[in-house]
Chain A
Amino acid sequence: MNKKRISILLSLLVLASMLLGACATAAPAAEPAAPAATTEAAAEAATEAAVEAATEAAAAPAEGDVAIRWRTRPDNQEEANVYKGISDELDAQLEGISLAYEPGGSEGASYQDQLKTEIANGTAPDVFWIPGTDVGDFAKRGLILNMADLAAGTDGFTVDAFYPGPMEYLTYNPESGDSSALWGLPRDVSTFVLYYNKDLLAEAGAADPAELAAEGKWDWDAFVDVASKVRGLGSDIYGYGANAWWGPYGTWMNAAGGGFFNADRTACNLNSPESLAGLEFERKLYQDLDVAVPYGEDSEPPFRAGKVGLFQNGRWATPGIRTVDFNWDVVELPKGPAGHAGNWLFWGAYAVNANTQHPEEAWKLVQALTQADTQAKISALGTNIPSRVSKEATDAFLTFTPPANNQAFLNGLNDSATAEGPLWAGNWPAFDAVAGANVQALMTGEKTIDDFAATICDEADKTFSE
């Protein structure tokens, strides 16, 4: 045997060990749930195993268990830790299932964009959370599993246990037009409130919004009065702040009786007189009255720095705001001309990957993640409100203080809140981009309300043909 042959033999053997090393984990991972695994299934299992190995949080599956990966979008590390803890608990509870939790999203990375890319690549988790607005896009393209059959075979399961707004969208079947589908179950719900700096309002001599709300006097005029008084405290102090996305400006439209879409959500409604009245009111806050943190600037840092009187945000902002060193509380949004505050019922759902190898186990996990105990643990952190409608759940939620006035969140939900929802007939991201840019131009004074009204729906309606 000469040196050349030895080198060749060496190379071949190293190559063989690398080859087998790369594929070796596939067989054990595929065996338990897919005894008759196809080539694709084996490759899928290899991929899952590879991702699993790379995920620090992944627990080693017990012998014979089905490995299920799941993901949700935590807003902070504390929330990620809670989900990890829940995953470990459920892992012990669910027989025959091993769970691996993957916290999704990070600064600068869009959760949904990454998820879609992974779905296209075949490496997405078995169960994942998606926002309510995205359910339509995911369902129409066959990316999430219709769990109606699995739910029908589950004893004791009923969609009535959850808030009806999200369930209306989650059970909509675009093919038949009825409520025969089940695309997921809501993880939690939330709604807007105004976080307010009690010290700043007292210094400005403004009335306490919670007291005004209790007296039924918390309307747009009272809101402007409070915001203006706070703004009068200094050039770097603002009366009101909100971030630049569809949620905040949508509430002003809703409260004036308007909204994004027509009744059957097949066309733009941003140029209706009611929608324009809401937007015009908001525009005045930014331009004419100049009481608001400049549109497009993140309002949370100045609020936490004690420079903003009223800050509009959802329950998810509570953990961060609990760290401020001034007195604060929350109050519901002020009532508008339509007689209600125009609030949103925000929600997102746990859905099952349409390509999962283990739909039944994934469905079990979705149920476990939305059971009352699990939701109570998340709510205790202060992040969101349980999506199950029950007196026990809401009573427990009220105890998760601060803020003292947790009731404001529940009032917001019960005050004709509009459930956020998917756009079955159009392309929501495209619609959002068109509406968002035009509203921003309006709020920054680059467009008048008349210019906005003249063109917005011609532009936005094109996204219904995409």
Chain B
Amino acid sequence: MGFLICAVALLQLIGVFAGFDALADRFPRALLPLGVSFIGYLIYVFADRYENYPKRQRSIQNTGKIVMLAGLALALIAVVGWESVPGFIAARLQLPILLALAGSILFGLMTWAMWRHPTALAMNVNNARQEALEGYLFLSPNLIGFLLFLAGPLLLSLYTSFTNWDGFGTREWVGFGNYGKLLNLTFATLTAANQPANQAINVKVYDELARFSLFGSHYLIGATDKLFWIAMRNTLLFGLLVVPLSVLPALGLAAILNSKLPGMKFFRSVYFIPSVAAVVGIALIWQWMYNASVGWINYAILSAANFLNSIFGAAWIAPQPRWLSTSDTALLAIVVMVAWQTIGFNTILFLAGMQNIPKVLYEAATVDGAGAWRQFRNITLPLLGATMVFVLSTTIIASFQIFEPIFIMTNPAGGPNNATLSAVLYLYQNGFQRFNQGYASAIAWLLFVIIFLVTMIQYRRQRNVTYEM
């Protein structure tokens, strides 16, 4: 671990991580010399054929080594150019770099020493320990990636959520201040349903979030950050709408696509296309379709009304919904678009699940006189349990993280009147538009807790239901 830490620090300090683009740009130059090196390796391996002629074998091996080393040397020259090396070294003769280098060498030597036979004997190494160690070593690339690019930023954001960091300056510790501001609510009893909020709560601190009547009394709820609660409400509502709309039709479609009807392979591809299309492109197309004045959907409604009027001699006035510009329909419009995009992916998952169900069960049910619906209800659905949990979990998680369609399709993002403001969009606005990285991190962690709890409940429920096949 010490070696890994020092090596990563060394790479960071000398600018390797910032230089991946340069690497990608320059490394292809070395491909040809590396090919030469590979040929050298093949020559070296070829020598094994002359196992019974040691002299010839050694001679071929030596040739192979020379070709390999020459190829590698040429590769180095191609990538770097010798003239750059002195400048490269001179620019990096800094204390932190030298310390990291010394640490890497020291820990590297220690690691090397641990592999040596005497050390192994001294440390009572047995096969089990060695296997475990090798297992961890095989795991290490993934583990290092996880620590660096997932666990590290996660922990950093957890720490940031307890600070007032703006993304640029120093972080000041504010404890649970961000969480307090997000969650702080106040309740007040009103003397009349329409009593102004400033007479009931301290409007310098709280904004009116909601008011309601219960058993003849009127109440008002205030929040220090009402937008957070609005965003959470919208996110929950979005999830409640989009999950059934993108799971149930997918189940039905999968049942149809699982049949032996002609053309099913074609339709499987067709339904999957929206899932692989870029969300930005799809959102822009749907935004255009939803346009109240010149959009295709309202145009279709208008044309249909005109057609019916011409047939029946009626004078129906076609409704022209303002899909994305009124609070009543904006979230629903986003739900329809997202469900349309998600159905295809869920369908493929269900289809895979259905094809894993043994055919013999259906044959037995048919012999017993069960119809198609009965078979679907009593065989397909129960045996799709694991797939269902996976589909539900991924769809719920994705719905709670809704961001791109809202960001692109609504104007201003989250509008109208915050009707489509989602938790992740609010997080983004705080973190990247209002310089509140600490606050945004707190929102992220609250959202994580909610998603974690919902997912855990689902898995627990599924764990209690098992079917023997």
**Which residues of A come within 8 Å of B, CB atoms?**
1, 3, 6, 10, 13-14, 16-28, 30-31, 37-39, 42-43, 46-47, 49-51, 53-54, 107-108, 110, 112-113, 116-117, 119-120, 137, 141-143, 235-236, 238, 243-245, 293-298, 301-302, 305, 307-308, 427, 429-430, 433, 436-438, 440-441, 444, 446-447, 454-455, 458-459, 461-462, 466
Bound form: Cα–Cα A16–B322 in Å: 61
- Which chain A residue lies CB-closest to B19? A22
Which of A50, A238, A441 sits near B19, CB closer than 8 Å? A50
A54 contact set on B, CB distance < 8 A: 21
B410 contact set on A, CB distance < 8 A: 296
A444 contact set on B, CB distance < 8 A: 325-327, 416-417
Interface flag for B110 (CB, 8 Å): no
Known: A236-B302, A296-B411, A458-B207. 5 other contacts (CB 8 A): A3-B45, A24-B81, A43-B18, A446-B327, A462-B204
Whether the pair A113, B15 counts as a contact (CB closer than 8 A) is no
Bound form: Cα–Cα A120–B37 in Å: 42
Whether the pair A244, B411 counts as a contact (CB closer than 8 A) is yes
Which of B91, B169, B302, B434 sits near A37, CB closer than 8 Å? B91
Min CB distance B159 to A, Å, is 16
Interface flag for B292 (CB, 8 Å): yes
Bound form: Cα–Cα A446–B327 in Å: 8
Residue from the set A42, A119, A137 with the largest chain B CB neighbour count within 10 Å: A42
Question: A244-B415, A294-B292, A455-B203 are known contacts. Are A116 and B432 too (CB-CB below 8 A)?
Answer: yes
Whether the pair A22, B22 counts as a contact (CB closer than 8 A) is yes
Min CB distance A159 to B, Å, is 27
Whether the pair B417, A446 counts as a contact (CB closer than 8 A) is yes
Bound form: Cα–Cα A25–B198 in Å: 62
Whether the pair B22, A298 counts as a contact (CB closer than 8 A) is no
B72 contact set on A, CB distance < 8 A: 10, 13-14, 17
A440 contact set on B, CB distance < 8 A: 412, 415-417
Which of A30, A302, A307 sits near B91, CB closer than 8 Å? A30
- Which chain A residue lies CB-closest to B87? A27
| Chain A proximity mask over B401-444: 1 for CB below 8 Å, otherwise 0 | 00010011011101111100000000011001111100000000
Interface of B (DSSP majority class): helix
Min CB distance A282 to B, Å, is 15
B1-17 interface with A by 8 A CB criterion: 11, 13-16
A47 contact set on B, CB distance < 8 A: 15, 18-19
Min CB distance B291 to A, Å, is 6
Whether the pair A454, B196 counts as a contact (CB closer than 8 A) is yes
Whether the pair A50, B203 counts as a contact (CB closer than 8 A) is no
Min CB distance B284 to A, Å, is 6
Whether the pair B168, A39 counts as a contact (CB closer than 8 A) is no
Whether the pair A119, B168 counts as a contact (CB closer than 8 A) is yes
Min CB distance B152 to A, Å, is 16
Residue from the set A20, A119, A461 with the largest chain B CB neighbour count within 10 Å: A20
Interface flag for B320 (CB, 8 Å): yes
Question: A51-B21, A119-B168, A444-B327 are known contacts. Are A20 and B411 too (CB-CB below 8 A)?
Answer: no
| Chain A proximity mask over B39-57: 1 for CB below 8 Å, otherwise 0 | 0010011000000000000
B326 contact set on A, CB distance < 8 A: 294, 296, 444
- Which chain A residue lies CB-closest to B16? A22
Interface of A (DSSP majority class): helix
- Which chain A residue lies CB-closest to B327? A446
Whether the pair B294, A27 counts as a contact (CB closer than 8 A) is no
Whether the pair A17, B434 counts as a contact (CB closer than 8 A) is no
Residue from the set B34, B65, B322, B433 with the largest chain A CB neighbour count within 10 Å: B433
Whether the pair A429, B18 counts as a contact (CB closer than 8 A) is no
Bound form: Cα–Cα A17–B94 in Å: 21
Interface flag for B293 (CB, 8 Å): yes
Min CB distance B220 to A, Å, is 12
Interface flag for B84 (CB, 8 Å): yes
Whether the pair B169, A141 counts as a contact (CB closer than 8 A) is yes
A39 contact set on B, CB distance < 8 A: 13, 91-92, 94, 96-97
Stretch at the interface among B25-33, B143-151, B236-244, B353-361: B25-33
Min CB distance A257 to B, Å, is 26
B80 contact set on A, CB distance < 8 A: 17, 20-21, 24
A430 contact set on B, CB distance < 8 A: 434
B325 contact set on A, CB distance < 8 A: 244, 294-297, 444
Whether the pair A24, B26 counts as a contact (CB closer than 8 A) is yes
Which of B76, B88, B414 sits near A17, CB closer than 8 Å? B76
Question: A1-B65, A10-B37, A108-B408 are known contacts. Are A21 and B23 too (CB-CB below 8 A)?
Answer: yes
Question: A302-B293, A305-B294 are known contacts. Are A112 and B433 too (CB-CB below 8 A)?
Answer: yes
Whether the pair B293, A301 counts as a contact (CB closer than 8 A) is yes
The 6 closest A-B pairs by CB, nearest first: A296-B325, A22-B19, A50-B21, A27-B87, A46-B15, A302-B293
Question: A20-B79, A39-B97 are known contacts. Are A458 and B293 too (CB-CB below 8 A)?
Answer: no
Bound form: Cα–Cα A357–B178 in Å: 36
Bound form: Cα–Cα A119–B169 in Å: 12
Whether the pair B15, A26 counts as a contact (CB closer than 8 A) is yes
A120 contact set on B, CB distance < 8 A: 167-168
Bound form: Cα–Cα A458–B327 in Å: 23
B11 contact set on A, CB distance < 8 A: 19
Interface flag for B324 (CB, 8 Å): yes
Which of A25, A119, A441, A462 sits near B22, CB closer than 8 Å? A25
Whether the pair A297, B324 counts as a contact (CB closer than 8 A) is yes
Bound form: Cα–Cα A31–B428 in Å: 39
Bound form: Cα–Cα A448–B85 in Å: 72
B92 contact set on A, CB distance < 8 A: 39, 42
